[in-house]
A and B are shown apart, each in its own frame.
Chain A
Amino acid sequence: MVEIGHFALVLAFALSLVQTIVPLFGARLNNQRLMAVGGPVAVTGFALTALSFVALAGAYANSDFSVANVWENSHSLQPLIYKITGTWGNHEGSMLLWVLILTFFGALVAAFGSNLPATLRANVLAVQGTIGAAFFLFILATSNPFIRLNPAPIEGRDLNPVLQDLGLAIHPPLLYLGYVGFSICFSFSVAALIEGRIDASWARWVRPWTLVAWMFLTGGIAMGSYWAYYELGWGGFWFWDPVENASFMPWLAGTALLHSAIVMEKRSALKIWTLLLAILTFSLSLLGTFLVRSGVLTSVHAFATDPTRGVFILCILTLFIGGSLALFALRASRLTAGGLFHPISREGALVLNNLFLTTATATVLVGTLYPLALEALTGDKISVGAPFFDLTFGPLMLPLLVLVPFGPLLAWKRGDVIAASQRLMAAFALALAAMLVTGLFIDGASVFAALGIGLAVWLVTGALTDLAIKSGVGSVAPAVMVRRFAGLPRSVFGTALAHLGLGLTLLGIVATLSFGTEKILTMRAGETVELSGHTLRFVGLYPAQGPNYSEDRGRFDLIGVSGSPVGEISSAKRFYPVRQMTTTESGIKTLGLSQLYISLGDEGKDGSVVVRLWWKPLVALIWGGGLTMMAGAAMSLMDRRLRVGAPSRRRKQAVAPAGLP
């Protein structure tokens, strides 16, 4: 099975070359038969990559230690779920997942792209094939997961204990679906440049793909943040770590792309800019892959440290980013700029959104790469950490977030700020009230806290105002209002949900940072401690044995008002003997939207233990907001007008069964 997987991978590489060359020539020669090769090849390439991936996952599930990759990253005692997720918990396997998703998206274009102009479709598949070819070659040449060991070792070296968590099952696949999803936008852009024109079907296709990629990337980042929060045992949810930045940059650029694509679709303005943004977004995804996979950064996430790989990915990076930008420079002047609009209009608001988001992306980019560049050029080592980003990224977000509720309320072409402001009066009043209440009535609230809470309330109420105005609140009868509300386009709900989610995330962040409390102390069994009105009793430390680890589990009782326990929290220190590593399993109790977070420290000789306790008010909103944003994207995708080719597909499905015996 392993050899079949290896063979399928080589074959997939060969097919990706075919997918690159044949449709491209077909499009140039306007030869229908050559162009038609792209589709089936893309689908077959995906099937082969899937076979290869399944073969590797099978080797992991069976603990086949004759495969070097399995031996390095698995152990026979691991629970089955971690054996399987271990497939992508390492460099080679995660690259295989990367190309699997890439070919999956290529196959989707092939399967659902029948209503695209033939040349555009052929060019898109060719570009997608090029990306595939580069990464297949990278895997086969430098990161082959199928290399065998002879003699086969008896036992594996275990998966990194930090990765032995459900987070690994969800976070990388979601993140890659996002990262790689932008490859479609990239391929469409490069194809448009090759053709030298952008037509209506281009715009109709790019926006849903951007939405899909953005939705998954949002989920991936939110999930990664929650994983780091509970797994690393520091209780932090965002560290401005270069690896996090690597995923955050495509998200920021993708968010800008999402907004400019709306302008392009609705008003056919900003075409050239949208195209450039699509190229930049995927370039940032590639850059992220390079930063993480090459090991130029050494941080908690990076598990690859082989310079030959770094150089190889750098070549891929240069080829694709340099190539596409050069093509852009050559061809962009051929594309016609469309739609005129007044600066004060929805287009204008979206342009401002793009200005701030792009600047924020560049800020994160410079902050991430500057230390590397400086060290390479001068040998000086500096650090760029959270304080830098707080001082630069923070102020950039402030005006953007203030402007968010205005956008959906401005009309296309020429908007009226005064009318929009009047409609937002209620939202503004509520935000101001929230700010004052926070500042005056909560002890110890800082200016930052008051401003932040006010801004979050502004975003949430602004999003609700948009829905209310569009369903005619205050101007029509309640029955009509309900009917209008139900009849609103899904994309209106999508926008409102996404902006609402942003507000919720902000609320969670500000509340946790401003009103969170902590205690660090030494506790003995039976002692109690109080934190922000919650009383906890330390019951004791209990040793326990897991499948591939041993642990000391500290049990805590949450004491209710009556003095009796109302809940239990346990936190553990685990020891994984194979890797000789200790991990901290944090204990988390969710109370409403807030959490009590316990992390165990060192044990004393007298049975005492260092305990770190945090009260994190509204912390769940940080990720809840992310989920709301995802729901917004999903809602927007369900919009009628985005169902690309839905009628034609339905026709075909209706015909197909009749044709079959």
Chain B
Amino acid sequence: MKPRLSLTSIVLLLALVFAGAAHAVKPDEMLADPALEARARALSEGLRCMVCQNQSIDESDADLARDLRILVRQRLVAGDSDQQVMDYVVSRYGEFVLLKPRFDLRNALLWGTPVLLLLVGGMFIALNARSRRKLATKSLSADEQAALDAILRRD
């Protein structure tokens, strides 16, 4: 397997690294400037198609998704930074369009759960192991040792 990749697709790939490869972008929407188009694709991956629940606008065939894709590209052509484009879309459609929820207090529980659980679970296991090791290494009392010796001698 020797993938031959053009510069455009390298940029695209870097942007798509973690994303599923599902796209509904139409040829007539695409920007002529490959760098700008790649940014548009990357941004589209993070925006939710409002009418189809679980697809990004990059994947969706819905008209509304198309409108949003065009809007994103218009803002990019107008010279907005990625952050400006996202802020603009959120100001118009609300935080609902963001597939990656913001890191803020309201979403603390959402983002915090994995870290918290890993720490708590890890600590629990560590403490448990420590108490068990103490239990395991506790040596026999003199009486127990004598009883054991007696049993061993009998055999």
Binding site for B on A (CB under 8 A): 232, 234-242, 297-300, 340-343, 348, 351-352, 355-356, 358-360, 362-363, 366-367, 370, 374, 378, 380-388, 390-392, 394, 396, 442-444, 446, 448-449, 511-518, 520-522, 532-533, 594, 601-602, 610, 612, 614-618
Q: Is B135 an interface residue (CB 8 A)?
A: yes
For B1, give its contact among A234, A378, A617 (CB under 8 Å). A617
For B96, give its contact among A348, A355, A383, A442 (CB under 8 Å). A383
Report B7 CB to chain A, min CB distance, Å.
9
Check if A391 sits within 8 Å of B21, measured CB to CB. no
For A521, give its contact among B4, B27, B53, B118 (CB under 8 Å). B27
- Among the interface residues B59, B96, B113, B114, which one has the most CB atoms of the partner chain A within 10 A? B114
Residues of B within 8 A of A532 (CB): 3-4
Residues of A within 8 A of B154 (CB): none
For A532, the closest partner residue in chain B by CB is B3
For A515, the closest partner residue in chain B by CB is B3
For B11, the closest partner residue in chain A by CB is A444
Check if A355 sits within 8 Å of B114, measured CB to CB. no
For B3, give its contact among A342, A359, A384, A517 (CB under 8 Å). A517
Check if A385 sits within 8 Å of B18, measured CB to CB. no
For A384, give its contact among B26, B97, B110 (CB under 8 Å). B110
Check if A235 sits within 8 Å of B117, measured CB to CB. no
Check if B1 sits within 8 Å of A594, measured CB to CB. yes
Q: Is B89 an interface residue (CB 8 A)?
A: no
Check if A443 sits within 8 Å of B3, measured CB to CB. yes
For A617, give its contact among B3, B18, B55 (CB under 8 Å). B3
Check if B114 sits within 8 Å of A362, measured CB to CB. yes
For A234, give its contact among B22, B96, B114 (CB under 8 Å). B22
Check if A446 sits within 8 Å of B95, measured CB to CB. no
For A611, the closest partner residue in chain B by CB is B27
Total contacting residues, chain B, CB less than 8 A: 55
11 A-B pairs besides A513-B16, A513-B20, A601-B26 with CB distance below 8 A are A242-B54, A360-B114, A380-B95, A381-B94, A383-B101, A396-B118, A512-B21, A517-B5, A520-B27, A532-B3, A617-B3
Report A442 CB to chain B, min CB distance, Å.
7
Q: Is B84 an interface residue (CB 8 A)?
A: no
| Interchain CA distance A359-B125 in the complex, whole Å | 13
| Interchain CA distance A383-B110 in the complex, whole Å | 11
Task: Show 27 A/B contacts (Cβ-Cβ < 8 Å), sorted by A.
Answer: A232-B22, A237-B20, A300-B54, A340-B135, A340-B136, A351-B125, A359-B117, A366-B114, A374-B106, A381-B94, A382-B95, A384-B101, A386-B19, A387-B100, A390-B19, A391-B100, A392-B114, A443-B10, A446-B14, A449-B17, A513-B16, A520-B26, A521-B27, A522-B27, A601-B26, A602-B26, A612-B23
Check if A448 sits within 8 Å of B26, measured CB to CB. no
Q: Is B92 an interface residue (CB 8 A)?
A: no
Interface of A is mostly: mixed
| Interchain CA distance A218-B87 in the complex, whole Å | 40
Q: Is B81 an interface residue (CB 8 A)?
A: no
Residues of B within 8 A of A239 (CB): 20, 22, 54-55
Report B35 CB to chain A, min CB distance, Å.
15
Residues of B within 8 A of A342 (CB): 133
Check if B125 sits within 8 Å of A390, measured CB to CB. no
Check if A381 sits within 8 Å of B95, measured CB to CB. yes
Given A446-B14, A616-B21: A382 in contact with B121 (beta carbons within 8 A): no
Check if A388 sits within 8 Å of B100, measured CB to CB. yes
For A512, the closest partner residue in chain B by CB is B21
Q: Is B76 an interface residue (CB 8 A)?
A: no
Check if B9 sits within 8 Å of A444, measured CB to CB. yes
Check if A362 sits within 8 Å of B99, measured CB to CB. no
For B129, the closest partner residue in chain A by CB is A343
Residues of B within 8 A of A615 (CB): 3
Residues of A within 8 A of B48 (CB): 383, 385
Report A257 CB to chain B, min CB distance, Å.
16
Q: Is B13 an interface residue (CB 8 A)?
A: yes
| Interchain CA distance A605-B122 in the complex, whole Å | 63
